[in-house]
A = this chain, B = another copy of it.
Amino acid sequence: MIKLVIDAMSGDNGSKVVVEAIKQFKKDYNDVSFIVCGKKEELEEIKDIAEIIDAPDIVPMDAGPLQVLRMKNSSMMRAIKEVKENGYDAVVSCGSTGGFLSASTITLKMIPGIKRAALCTCFPTMYKNKKLTLLDVGANNENSGEELYQFAIMGRLYSQVVYGVKDPATYLLCNGSEDEKGSPTTKEAHKLLTERNFPNFGGNVEARDVFDGHVDVMVCDGFSGNVFLKGCEGTAKFVGGLVKSAFKRNLWSKLGYLHVRKGMKEMSQTLDYKAVGGALLLGINGIAIKGHGNSDAYAFYHAIRVAYQLASQNIVEKIKKELENQQEMIVNCNVNCNT
């Protein structure tokens, strides 16, 4: 039985969407139980299918980590503490990104051996149904090559567990595809990934080629990853706005829209961030999923789905084991190299 703790209050759309998502999830999956933190009176509807913990305070969207840690009776902080104290499998929230992720890290601690946690998310690609796993997209302001190497390990496991890719093609985001290109950090990471024979390492990839569908996992430092992600978001919004203006031009163009409506719907489904399931911090000693702040029931459902998948596949244990293997490999290599 997978035990998921839910922060029901912190999203822009309140507890209603959370309640709906939980009801649907319970219908679709029978090996899951929910512990839901929030205003008791708003959670009446699910009291028979979930354990309710009354935690009425709401963390504001712009809350920082310290503020969250102080709000002990908030739905967010209670949810995180439940995971810590009762060993539940995962926590899901739609609240303040910075606040939730920092409070999770401080409360749940890092996986021993992991140098830095990475914010991991997914992106659609031109290749139908194929999703791209990206990390770090903003947990860090700068990273070392060794940290990027660890991100590759965690990203590979995420792609295997969540998308079922057997042998994910892993690339470094870079300013050129040639091996010798890159910042000092990516050059160091490239060296480590090559020397240690990282499985299916494809080398460097330019930002314009990551949507082609040949990349499963894209590794980068938190600063460039954030710039990449938000640049893509901004461009999609920009181009989308231009398409909308094209349709709104006059009565004829409005009529034209009727003809392409279905195609446009397929397009927005491809780009739908709500089906992605939010972001998570990989590298901490637990599973903490952050849905979009303005998630509806559908988006929250998918955030729960990602939590469920990662918990059933025990991703934290897998990361720990992989780190041990790596450590052994490095020690063996050093012994062999020195003898």
Contact = CB atoms under 8 A, between A and B. Distances in A.
Interface in A243-292: 243, 245-249, 252-253, 255-260, 262-264, 266-267, 270-271
A208 interface: yes
Interface string A216-254: 000010111011111111111111111101111100110
A141 interface: yes
Interface residues of A, number: 58
Contact of A258 (B222, B234, B256): B256
Contacts of A184: 141-142
Contact of A138 (B175, B243, B263): B175
A266 B246 contact: yes
B241 A239 contact: no
B227 A207 contact: yes
A99 B76 CA distance: 54
Copies of this chain assembled into the complex: 2
Interface in A95-142: 126, 138, 141-142
A263 B206 CA distance: 31
29 contacts: A126-B241, A138-B175, A141-B184, A182-B223, A206-B230, A207-B226, A207-B231, A210-B231, A211-B238, A223-B224, A224-B224, A227-B227, A228-B228, A232-B235, A235-B239, A236-B239, A239-B267, A239-B271, A242-B270, A242-B271, A243-B243, A243-B264, A246-B263, A246-B266, A249-B263, A252-B259, A257-B259, A259-B259, A260-B260
Given A138-B175, A210-B231, 20 more contacts: A126-B238, A141-B175, A182-B223, A207-B228, A207-B230, A207-B234, A208-B231, A211-B235, A227-B231, A232-B235, A239-B239, A239-B267, A239-B271, A243-B264, A245-B267, A249-B263, A252-B259, A255-B259, A256-B260, A259-B259
Interface of A: 126, 138, 141-142, 173, 175, 181-184, 206-211, 220, 222-224, 226-243, 245-249, 252-253, 255-260, 262-264, 266-267, 270-271
